[in-house]
């Protein structure tokens, strides 16, 4: 602790100390003017820096590839570079901390937020998280790794208790956070919404004090997720430094009184204050007295980095010689994601990107529009397409649309996410109503679907007639972080070319956990059999058909798990029909995780492209035409069917949860560990990915001279590029305990290395294993244990392709502290 921090803490009054332990508003911690302590500002991440604006609109920002895409790169150097670039983005939004990275484990393939997290494996997640944090904090911007811990589902996440035994916590779910603390010295940790074994994580003494601070030596701050604090004395005493957002609900005067009454000791309060002052010193906010003005900083170097990273994240899962594209033949461009740039998932990670490049535009730029033909084939949206156009918005300082408007404004589409200040402060953000008036002119005549969903009460009128009513019988659903209703849809016959008046009425309602008001209204015309028939015709008349399918941020989103891993809508039917019409069919998939693929045997190639950020179309097309190598490898096992996933169970308490509990019954057997345990063959294994280059690994050398004394082992291997193209191999090292006293996985990833090689290049690489790589956690004894006996080391290019193996042996046991 610096002398300055100690002096400031001594000079602060009780009220001043308490003031910096909670937010002032949605994105900042207040200044202490008397002592010239500046304001601390934070911004959401992790695939960009949104700034202080809403989830919709706001100052534009760079949109980077999402977490699972970065996980697929297996490239710690690239992720560190992205962390540094994101520091630039945070500075452009005049903030000091980024609420990122997200490192929860892919326990279930249906988790709506898997797209935001790196992997099903804790070592891959931990190494990438550490790199991200080092890159970010190396530029003076604080990281806030999240969500600590057990937030592996979005179902009732603000109240659900994740029932996880300590061994599974230590070996799987805590490791990314432990690596962030021990390897990257993260400055911030965010507690999760959920309870852990019955206690909210924001007031979990064992988690925040024993594990984080005592076991790992953490000296940063713990902040609550937004509205994720539930108590005053309990959270402060357990180790929660900062309640967000502000104004405070559980602190402020309540905390002042708790200190005066002795419920919180002055010593404990000072620990929290010192932690906050130390953070402010680290990020430079102590002396930051500038006027905060956010800017859109669209840098060429960030554009280039996003494009490169998006291409590197792409995983080539099948290729019968169709890729890279060859010749100058005609290309049929088909599918719901062809002309729409799916660049990110939904929820708090979304932002207003500088721009969005669709696959269609990327192909036009790469090969010319004259070679292309297009058919959408079907839709894949979860909600009716948001109505675009100018709307007049009248805001009322009551919830009944009564009297004269308190404020009149405009907005560009029929959606809103109101948090913090609304209508320039003319209405209470939690108690107001609004009327939006605009128009819609359909391109095609027919029966249109009108949809509305809202966190609040809402109605949609078309030419004065009520079409969709999410007001009269409003019921809580799975939208807007579970504060909103499910979409209510009505139908109306519309004529092409005629302008219809659209009026949307909205009023706030009491919230459950998150104080927000929001709605989205859309109008769509369903696509039928004729659309698939047109796609077949277009495919039949082309040399190559590329089908762009998947999901979008309506499906892969915070606040809602997926109902299944089937492709939405008629996409399976579309792929099967196109592949039947043209055997040279390439599928480009954009999802936040696996899908079931009954058609996989009939297509020539499959590229998994995730959500690669604002350069999506360019990055995808770089891979399709061969300008970039698809060097991504799966960070999550793709099962044949959802039922093969470890969290799938007939017992609702295992998933999705029952009566407030979700039981992690599989323990440490998550992801590939589960498939190995049951002998299940996945559709595509963990760590798998093809490429345009090919590689071999050979000449395994194991140096175990320090294994007996220290538990350390050095592993060397030769990697050879056996092709005529430059490319990258991901060498993976797995460890097996041959005769463990406790159940252990058949193998576990413990080290990896991405290697870029020129044609015919040969390189020797070395990977290091420490004692923890061989240990398992003994919950009763409270230590890690490396047992005596033999361990098998396996090296290869995926969890199912491990041609090299060797054995190391210990004669004694080795106990390691937590």
Which residues are designated catalytic? 225
CA 719 to CA 69: how far, in whole Å?
25
Nearest Cα to Cα of residue 553 among 815, 351, 322, 694: 351
Find where tokens 């538990």 sit. Answer: 711
CA 694 to CA 725: how far, in whole Å?
8
CA 353 to CA 358: how far, in whole Å?
13
Q: Tell me the three-class secondary structure of 684-718, residue by residue.
A: ECCCCCECCCCEEEEEEEEECCCCCCCCCEEEEEE
- Work out whether strand 544-550 and strand 488-494 pair parallel, antiparallel, or are unpaired: unpaired
Q: Which two tokens stand for residue 25?
A: 């508003």
Q: Which two tokens stand for residue 197?
A: 């074994």
Q: Which two tokens stand for residue 595?
A: 């899908």
CA 521 to CA 311: how far, in whole Å?
34
Task: Name every residue whose Cβ is closer than 8 Å to that of residue 278 and which is 6 or more positions away in sequence.
Answer: 1, 2, 5, 219, 220, 221
Q: Tell me the three-class secondary structure of 122-184, residue by residue.
A: HHHHHHHHHHHHHHHHCCCCEEEEEEECCCCCCCCCCCCEEECCHHHHHHHHCHHHHHHHHCC
Nearest Cα to Cα of residue 48 among 29, 35, 62, 60: 62
Q: Which two tokens stand for residue 191?
A: 């507690």
Find where tokens 């504060």 sit. Answer: 483
- Work out whether strand 315-319 and strand 28-29 pair parallel, antiparallel, or are unpaired: unpaired
Nearest Cα to Cα of residue 521 among 496, 497, 492: 492
Helix (H, G, I), strand (E, B) or coil at 498: coil
CA 351 to CA 48: how far, in whole Å?
7
User: What is the chain's Cα-based Rg?
Assistant: 27
DSSP classification of residue 213: I
Helix (H, G, I), strand (E, B) or coil at 802: coil
Q: Which two tokens stand for residue 376?
A: 């959408």
CA 620 to CA 607: how far, in whole Å?
9
CA 723 to CA 254: how far, in whole Å?
68
8 A C-beta contact, residue 345 and residue 559: no
CA 722 to CA 781: how far, in whole Å?
49
8 A C-beta contact, residue 467 and residue 461: yes
Nearest Cα to Cα of residue 216 among 176, 272, 243: 176
Helix (H, G, I), strand (E, B) or coil at 597: coil
CA 54 to CA 517: how far, in whole Å?
11
CA 91 to CA 86: how far, in whole Å?
9
Please name the residue ranges forming H helices in 541-647: 571-581, 616-625
**Torsion angle in degrees (nearest 10) through CA of 120, 126, 132, 133:** 140
Nearest Cα to Cα of residue 432 among 440, 422, 442: 422
**Torsion angle in degrees (nearest 10) through CA of 721, 725, 728, 734:** -40
CA 533 to CA 548: how far, in whole Å?
17
Find where tokens 């790794």 sit. Answer: 145
8 A C-beta contact, residue 449 and residue 523: yes
Task: Name every residue whose Cβ is closer than 8 Å to that of residue 252 and which is 6 or more positions away in sequence.
Answer: 18, 19, 22
């Amino acid at each position: 602790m610096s002398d300055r921090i100690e002096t400031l803490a001594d000079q602060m009054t009780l009220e001043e100390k308490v003031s910096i332990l909670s937010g002032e508003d949605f994105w900042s911690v207040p200044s202490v003017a008397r002592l010239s302590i500046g304001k601390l500002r934070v911004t959401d991440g992790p695939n960009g820096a949104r700034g202080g604006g809403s989830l919709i609109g706001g100052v534009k920002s760079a949109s980077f590839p999402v977490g699972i895409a970065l996980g697929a790169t297996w490239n710690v150097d690239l992720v560190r570079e992205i962390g540094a670039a994101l520091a630039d983005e945070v500075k452009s939004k005049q903030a000091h901390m980024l609420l990122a990275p997200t490192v929860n484990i892919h326990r279930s393939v249906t988790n709506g937020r898997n797209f935001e997290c790196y992997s099903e494996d804790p070592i891959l997640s931990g190494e990438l998280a550490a790199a991200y944090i080092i890159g970010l904090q190396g530029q003076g911007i604080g990281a806030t790794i999240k969500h600590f811990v057990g937030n592996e589902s979005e179902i009732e996440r603000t109240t659900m208790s994740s029932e996880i035994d300590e061994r599974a916590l230590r070996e799987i779910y805590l490791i990314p956070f432990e690596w962030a603390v021990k390897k990257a010295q993260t400055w911030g940790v965010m507690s999760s919404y959920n309870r852990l074994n019955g206690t909210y994580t924001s007031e979990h003494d064992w988690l925040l004090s024993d594990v984080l601070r005592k076991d790992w030596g953490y000296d940063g701050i713990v902040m609550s997720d937004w509205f994720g604090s539930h108590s005053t004395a309990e959270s402060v005493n357990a180790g929660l430094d900062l309640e967000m957002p502000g104004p405070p609900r559980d602190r402020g005067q309540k905390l002042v009184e708790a200190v005066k009454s002795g419920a919180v000791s002055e010593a404990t309060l000072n620990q929290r204050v010192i932690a906050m002052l130390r953070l402010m010193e680290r990020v430079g906010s102590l002396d930051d007295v500038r006027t905060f003005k956010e800017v859109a900083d669209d840098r060429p170097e960030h554009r280039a980095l996003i494009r490169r990273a998006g291409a590197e994240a792409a995983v080539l899962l099948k290729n019968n010689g169709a890729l890279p594209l060859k010749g100058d033949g005609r290309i049929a461009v088909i599918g719901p994601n062809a002309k729409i740039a799916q660049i990110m998932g939904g929820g708090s990670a979304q932002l207003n990107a500088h721009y969005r490049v669709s696959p269609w535009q990327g192909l036009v730029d790469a090969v010319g529009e004259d070679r292309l033909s297009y058919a959408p084939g079907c839709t894949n949206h979860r909600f009716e397409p948001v109505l675009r156009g100018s709307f007049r918005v009248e805001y009322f300082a009551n919830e009944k649309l009564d009297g004269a408007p308190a404020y009149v404004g405009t907005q560009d589409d029929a959606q809103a996410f109101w948090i913090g200040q609304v209508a320039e402060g003319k209405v209470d953000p939690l108690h107001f109503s609004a009327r939006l008036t605009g128009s819609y002119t359909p391109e095609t005549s027919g029966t249109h679907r009108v949809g509305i969903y809202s966190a609040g009460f809402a109605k949609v009128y078309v030419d004065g007639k009520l079409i969709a009513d999410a007001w009269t019988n409003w019921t809580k659903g799975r939208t807007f972080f579970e504060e909103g209703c499910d979409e209510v849809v009505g139908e109306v016959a519309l004529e092409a070319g005629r302008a219809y008046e659209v009026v949307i009425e909205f009023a706030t309602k009491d919230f459950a956990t998150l104080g927000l008001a929001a709605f989205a209204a859309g109008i769509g015309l369903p696509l039928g059999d004729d659309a698939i028939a047109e796609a077949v015709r277009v495919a039949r008349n082309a040399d190559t058909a590329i089908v762009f399918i998947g999901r979008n941020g309506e499906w892969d989103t915070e606040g809602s798990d997926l109902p299944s891993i089937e492709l939405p809508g008629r996409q399976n039917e579309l792929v099967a029909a196109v592949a039947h019409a043209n055997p040279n069919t390439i599928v480009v998939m954009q999802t936040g995780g696996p899908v079931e693929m009954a058609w996989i045997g009939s297509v020539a190639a499959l590229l998994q492209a995730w959500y690669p950020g604002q350069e999506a179309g360019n990055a995808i097309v770089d891979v399709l035409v061969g300008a970039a190598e698809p060097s991504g490898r799966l960070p999550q096992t793709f099962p044949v069917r959802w039922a093969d996933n470890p969290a799938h169970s007939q017992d609702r308490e295992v998933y999705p949860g029952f009566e407030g509990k979700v039981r992690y019954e599989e323990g440490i057997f998550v992801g590939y560990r589960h498939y190995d345990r049951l002998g299940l063959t996945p559709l595509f294994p963990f760590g798998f990915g093809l490429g345009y280059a090919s590689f071999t690994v050979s000449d395994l050398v194991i140096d175990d001279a320090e294994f007996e004394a220290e538990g350390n082992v050095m592993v060397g291997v030769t990697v050879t590029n056996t092709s005529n193209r430059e490319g990258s191999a991901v060498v993976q090292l797995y460890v097996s305990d041959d005769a463990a006293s406790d159940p252990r996985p058949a193998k576990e990833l413990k080290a990896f290395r991405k290697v870029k090689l020129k044609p015919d290049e040969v390189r020797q690489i070395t990977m290091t294993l420490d004692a923890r790589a061989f240990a398992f956690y003994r919950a009763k004894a409270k230590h890690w244990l490396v047992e005596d006996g033999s361990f098998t080391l396996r090296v290869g290019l995926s969890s199912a392709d491990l041609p090299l193996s060797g054995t190391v042996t210990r004669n004694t046991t080795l106990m390691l502290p937590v």
